[in-house]
Structure 1
Amino acid sequence: MSAKTCLTLALCGLAMADLAPRQTQAPTTTTAQAQVTAITGCHLHASDLYCFAGTAEYKIKTTVTATTSLPAQYTDCHSHGASFYCVDESGEDVQAESESGSEETEETHEHEEEEETTTTNEHCHFHAGVEHCTGGSEEESSSSGSSSGSSSSSSCTTTSRDYNIGLRVGLLFVILATSSLGVFGPILMQRFFQKKLNLLFVGLKQFGTGIILSTAFIHLYTHASMMFSNDCVGELEYEGVTSAIVMAGIFLSFLVEYLGHRIVQAKIRSEAALSTQEKSKALISSEVVSITVMEAGILFHSLLIGLTLVVAGDSFFLTLFVVILFHQVFEGLALGTRIATIGTRDDPELHPVESSGVLSPIESKHAQAESSSETSETVPIGLSMKKKLLLASCFAFITPIGMAIGIGVLKQFNGNDKSTLIAIGTLDALSAGMLVWVGLVEMWAADWVTGAHGRKAELADANAITTCVAFFGLVSGLVIMSVLGKWA
């Protein structure tokens, strides 16, 4: 082949190579991300926040708690070198990481979603300054407020929060007003409309019975169990400590009432000739002992309610406040109706008291003769208005006092401290035991079956209308206070 031919072939080859299509480099991730201006559709996977830009999913590198509201969108997206950022609602840059290039496969992501489906349904609330989250896992977790609700990341040290002090001080007086309305209302109504509101008071008394029992089981017993099961308390050597303290509360209530009744009976026996008025006063004294036991359990509980309301974080404070507002009204009604009706029964069955428990025929005739000779005496209607209002005032002021204590120690209070959790759990459990005794024995059983304080059960042979009203009130109290237990 000649040199001219070789040169011609070489020139043709170069021309063909220049005409061949060139392969361009694929666009980089940074270039693609730079085209995204905003990401929306933000949602949670476990404690991680993800948002969408079209069909592409981005992981937002920020801390989101279960009580934090999710952002609607991130705007003004831009790149800094190889990193991708968007601007949040406060104007701060937040790094976003595209999930398209991650090593996580779609199957793995879906499997992780299945495991954490209930996390988005978490319900979080505060008890003693500790954020409790339920519904996201099999066990309730406790968070200090800065974590995502996982007990493994909770801290037992004081949680730093910003509190709206002015709001708490103002709402203290609102709680005082509503507590007073609940507890003083029945007493004043009984004083001025005694004959016209008998049926209403029957319903209110049974409504109060339901409130007391639901408070004991749904609120106090449950809260005590939560305190003792907190990770910061550690492992308890005796697992039944909550139930044991509740039983101690029941026993203490029984002991106080039993000793009180024995003292009253001893006073009656010490008088050979006891008038009807004196017998009535003795029975009223016995009734006051029972009311005092009930009020003691309520006061312990209300003091803790005021404290735990104040130390709750601002994200949940107003919700908890509204719930406790209703709680105080209903509990005040429960106590107020019992105080109002002390010794006010129109048909007291005063039973003569004897040392052996059985009256002899001669003693029985003597008692009947004494009773008939004193029919003209006026039986006292019970406690004076001043004493009733004094009993009611203790309840009206105790929750605001608890709130005032909470405001005073707000910056130092540590709801995760072991001694604090044990103290609150113990008081809750003791209060639960006291209210269980009063609710079941002195209220429910005494009103419906057994009777108490020298009188028969007022609903044992009541007419159909009265029985229906009482039954409706009882069930309403049980249900309403149990529903409130979802938030408080």
Structure 2
Amino acid sequence: MSKLRQHSRFAFFCLLFILPTLVFGECTCEKGEGDGDRNKTEALKYKIGAIASILVAGALGVGIPILGKTIPDLHPDRNIFFIIKAFAAGVILATGFIHVLPDAFESLTDPALKENPWRKFSFTGFVAMMAAIGTLMVDSCATSYYSRSHFKNNIDGDEERAQEHEGHDVHTHTTHGHANGAVDTSPSTELLRHRVISQVLELGIVVHSVIIGISLGASESPKTIKPLVAALSFHQFFEGMGLGGCITQSKFKNRAVAIMSLFFSLTTPVGIVIGIGISKFYDGSSPTVLIMEGVFNAASAGILIYMSLVDLLAADFMKPKMQSNGKLQAGAYISLLLGAGCMSLLAKWA
């Protein structure tokens, strides 16, 4: 998994340091802020408060599922874990459909852009669709590649151990080794899939989290920032729960868990800091800004929608444990609707 981690981290850092040079805001940072709403000193106070609030909320959200390692009731095998994960998946699904995708449509159909081609073709839907297809390809290919690598390593290890016995029990040990390989392959494949899912999901979350942070940091209107602070804190908390659940099921080493959790927690606060730094140069009506903002938001929406429906919801709801337990299934349905409903309601403020 080391190569996958390296590629993921490289992509994450590219987003943090390259994206800010291209995207200086999001649609939640109102383009029509009048001079009467601008107050740099007061706005800066709210931004600092937002950094602290969102950082704590994100850390708590991603940390709660991870505590399942030490708290039996939160272990991934428990029913309550499925219910919490369904709620978080509903939050991520609503984030893609209700928060990110509409912002992408707004950006790519803005009057500041030329009618041809931006309003002649649904670029938002196209980018979101291609991002979902791309996520499917990455999901499938990465899982297949690492499954084959793992199976090959098991066979090579069996052969080496068989040779060490100098032939006196080669047949027995080799047969036993291959039997172990067959037994271990299924859970190992599932574990590898969870690891791929957690990293791809984090990538999708990071994309729009950076944009949200830059948006808030670039705004100089206290009236715009105040409702966003609470809304984005809840937003990060619930998304963190979904990501934390995936990280828990991935069974990463403690160091990798800490890095992924810390990276998620810091993404939006770092975006706010970047937004504060570029606020003097911010131009939300710039065609270049609108195009880059819209494309990244559309891609993020496609990733989040695919991950929530396919890798989080379908994967859990089709498991025998869920299918054979009517109460658990009903509880998960209710939790899913509550998560999607709460996140949809937050769209009124963020």
Please state which band the TM-score falls in when normalised by the shorter chain: 0.7 to 0.9
Displacement of 1:171? 2.6
C-alpha change, 1:146 and 1:226, in structure 2 (3 Å) is farther
Q: State the Cα deviation string for residues 41-63 of structure 1 (Å, max 9, x = none).
A: xxxxxxxxxxxxxxxxxxxxxxx
The answer (yes or no) to whether the contact 2:46–2:222 under 8 Å persists in 1 is no
C-alpha change, 1:293 and 1:419, in structure 2 (3 Å) is same
Greater mean deviation of Cα atoms: 286-295 or 269-278: 269-278
Q: Does 1:184 align with 2:92?
A: no
Give the helix-richer structure, 1 or 2.
2
TM-score (norm 2): 0.78
C-alpha change, 1:311 and 1:341, in structure 2 (3 Å) is same
Displacement of 1:386? 2.8
C-alpha change, 1:236 and 1:321, in structure 2 (3 Å) is farther
Give the equivalent residue in structure 2 for 1:354: none
Match of 2:198 among 282, 291, 301: 291
Give the equivalent residue in structure 1 for 2:27: 127
C-alpha change, 1:460 and 1:181, in structure 2 (3 Å) is same
Give the equivalent residue in structure 2 for 1:267: 149
Query: After superposition, where does 1:5-404 map in structure 2 within 5 Å?
Result: 127=27, 129-131=29-31, 143-145=32-34, 161-163=38-40, 164-188=43-67, 190-195=68-73, 198-237=78-117, 238-270=120-152, 271-272=154-155, 273=178, 275=181, 276=183, 280-312=187-219, 313-342=221-250, 382-404=251-273
Displacement of 1:422? 0.9
Displacement of 1:199? 2.7
Give the equivalent residue in structure 2 for 1:472: 334
The answer (yes or no) to whether the contact 1:128–1:311 under 8 Å persists in 2 is no
C-alpha change, 1:277 and 1:169, in structure 2 (3 Å) is same
Displacement of 1:255? 1.3
C-alpha change, 1:299 and 1:458, in structure 2 (3 Å) is farther
Displacement of 1:278? 6.4
The answer (yes or no) to whether the contact 2:85–2:245 under 8 Å persists in 1 is yes
The AA in structure 2 aligned to 1:227 is S
The answer (yes or no) to whether the contact 1:202–1:469 under 8 Å persists in 2 is no
Q: State the Cα deviation string for residues 341-398 of structure 1 (Å, max 9, x = none).
A: 33xxxxxxxxxxxxxxxxxxxxxxxxxxxxxxxxxxxxxxx32233222222221010
CA distance in 2, matches of 1:268, 1:407: 46
CA distance in 2, matches of 1:386, 1:168: 30
Q: Does 1:431 align with 2:289?
A: no
The AA in structure 2 aligned to 1:200 is I
SS of corresponding position for 2:34: coil
CA distance in 1, matches of 2:74, 2:199: 27
Higher-RCO chain (CA-CA 8 Å, sequence separation at least 6): 2
The answer (yes or no) to whether the contact 2:128–2:301 under 8 Å persists in 1 is yes
Q: Does 1:486 align with 2:321?
A: no
C-alpha change, 1:424 and 1:458, in structure 2 (3 Å) is farther
Q: State the Cα deviation string for residues 133-156 of structure 1 (Å, max 9, x = none).
A: xxxxxxxxxx35359xxxxxxxxx
Displacement of 1:282? 4.1
The AA in structure 1 aligned to 2:131 is G
Superposed CA RMSD in Å reads 2.2
Give the equivalent residue in structure 2 for 1:47: none
The AA in structure 1 aligned to 2:87 is F
Q: Which runs of 5+ in 2 are unaligned?
A: 1-25, 156-177
CA distance in 1, matches of 2:336, 2:105: 26
SS of corresponding position for 2:284: coil
Give the strand-richer structure, 1 or 2.
1
Q: Which runs of 5+ in 1 are unaligned?
A: 1-125, 132-142, 148-159, 343-381, 450-455
Q: State the Cα deviation string for residues 385-438 of structure 1 (Å, max 9, x = none).
A: 332222222210100110010011111111111111111111110000111111
CA distance in 2, matches of 1:319, 1:281: 45
